[in-house]
Amino acid sequence: MARASHLPAPWADVRDRFHERGLRWTPQRRTVVEVLAGTRGHVTGAELVERCRARDPKTIPSTVYRTLDALEELGLVRHGHGADGREEYHVGPEAPHGHLYCSACGGSWEIGEPQAQAIVHAFRSARDFQVDLSHVTVVGLCTECRQAAAG
């Protein structure tokens, strides 16, 4: 398989940024970054390990997780938590947002504006607490599941 010599933005200089921080740039890390560069939306660590294994069967999970930690420090990914508490990674420059999870159908939705601002404002004014929106995970029932339960 031909390897792309250039990664798309914002990944283009990731190798230099690893080196700046004294982190080694290895073929395994490159595989992780290449898979992430082709990922949209959310991905769990386990899913990422699977996708990396599809490219390189020798992928070691701990390497994937350590690479994710480094990429999060660089601001290239950001983690939140799924309904079961598992870490989910957001790829790319994306505004922080919370998540709604339906406990019946497993559906998930992003909490965007203006509900996000309402949550942040509610806790700021009532508790002087700064909410980390990327860690707001709300579990409940979606419209369809409530209607199905009622019908």
Site of interaction with Zn ion (CB under 5 A)? 102, 104-105, 107, 142, 145
**Between 63 and 108, CB nearer to Zn ion:** 108
State residue 138 phi and psi, 5-degree precision: -115, 125
State in angstroms the smallest separation of the CB of 147 from Zn ion: 10
How far apart CA 34 and CA 28 sit, in angstroms, is 10
CB of 132 to Zn ion, least distance (A): 8
Question: Which of 59, 137 has the CB closer to Zn ion?
Answer: 137
Looking only at the bridges linking them, the beta strands covering 98-102 and 108-111 are antiparallel
If the CB atoms of residues 30 and 136 are measured against Zn ion, the closer one turns out to be 136
CB-nearer residue toward Zn ion: 26 or 109: 109
Closest CA to 8 of 38, 28, 29: 38
Using the CB atoms, write b or e for 81-105: b if 16+ within 10 Å.
ebbeeeebbbbeeeebbbbbbbeee
Nearest distance from C-beta of residue 110 to Zn ion, angstroms: 5
In the complex, minimum distance from the CB of residue 115 to Zn ion, in angstroms, rounded to a whole number: 14
Neighbours of 68 (CB within 10 A): 20
